[in-house]
Amino acid sequence: DSGVTQTPKHLITATGQRVTLRCSPRSGDLSVYWYQQSLDQGLQFLIQYYNGEERAKGNILERFSAQQFPDLHSELNLSSLELGDSALYFCASSAVGGNTGELFFGEGSRLTVL
Amino acid sequence: DAKTTQPNSMESNEEEPVHLPCNHSTISGTDYIHWYRQLPSQGPEYVIHGLTSNVNNRMASLAIAEDRKSSTLILHRATLRDAAVYYCILRDALEPGTASKLTFGTGTRLQVTL
């Protein structure tokens, strides 16, 4: 158990819909990262938040948005869903301390768009 | 981000040592070398990291070439539970108080057989 909790574990929805994925980081971790893993793209970095502020942005579509709340949990909002958005979405967290620290990943949220 | 090159797949027999290579010829002086692995249906998991010197922990050893242009992850006695995709990642060193993202490549799929 990494200590990172993601909900829901599975989600099935239709094209054009909007979903919200939730992530609770490990206690005390200030950084939250979102990754997308699809069969043909591998693990793609989407976005990082640090203590409530956006810190880095990767290949995140404009239809996707995220935020980190004062209690440090984070949400990834996916809208106008397309078939190609079907993927595993992972959240990870890390403590403050530069780049010697590890990232702890949750078990992922599997999104299926029909 | 500096790029890493890994073999697509490797095979090992159970109880045998496994050496997973990684080339990173464009590594910068402040890049840390990180290894993560992803077991089937799970999120990535930290294995080990290092900067210049060889490193050992309970999971594995990391051997870093003197010129830092390559490294090798060593699993001393592979078990069936070590079957996973292993990712070698270079992580930028930033100022203390921040934590940078990990950029995953395609990794090496390790198969372990009896």
- The per-residue pLDDT of chain A, averaged, comes to 92
Largest CA distance in chain B: 46
The mean pLDDT of A23-49, rounded to a whole number, is 91
Cβ-based contacts of A107 with chain B (< 8 Å): 42-43
Cβ-based contacts of A43 with chain B (< 8 Å): 38, 44, 87, 104
Cβ-based contacts of B102 with chain A (< 8 Å): 33, 45, 103
Contacts of B105 (CB under 8 A, 6+ apart): A42, B3, B4, B5, B6, B87, B88, B89
- Indicate whether A27 pLDDT > 60: yes
pLDDT digits (tens, 9 = 90+) for A91-102: 999 886 555 678
- Count the residues in chain A: 114
pLDDT digits (tens, 9 = 90+) for A73-93: 999 999 999 999 999 999 999
Is residue B108 within 8 Å of residue B12, measured between CB atoms? no
Q: How far apart are CA B59 and CA A97, in angstroms?
A: 22
CB spacing of B49 vs A105 below 8 angstroms: no
By DSSP bridging, strand A10-13 and strand B55-56 are: unpaired
CB spacing of A98 vs B94 below 8 angstroms: yes
**pLDDT in the model for residue A55:** 87
* Chain CA centroid to CA B41, Å: 19
By DSSP bridging, strand A74-78 and strand A19-24 are: antiparallel
Contacts of A23 (CB under 8 A, 6+ apart): A4, A5, A6, A32, A34, A73, A74, A75, A76, A91, A93, A106
**pLDDT in the model for residue B97:** 47
- Indicate whether A39 pLDDT > 90: no
- The Cβ of residue A26 has, within 10 Å, a number of other Cβ atoms equal to 17
pLDDT digits (tens, 9 = 90+) for B82-103: 999 999 998 876 544 456 778 8
Element (H, E) at B56: strand B55-56
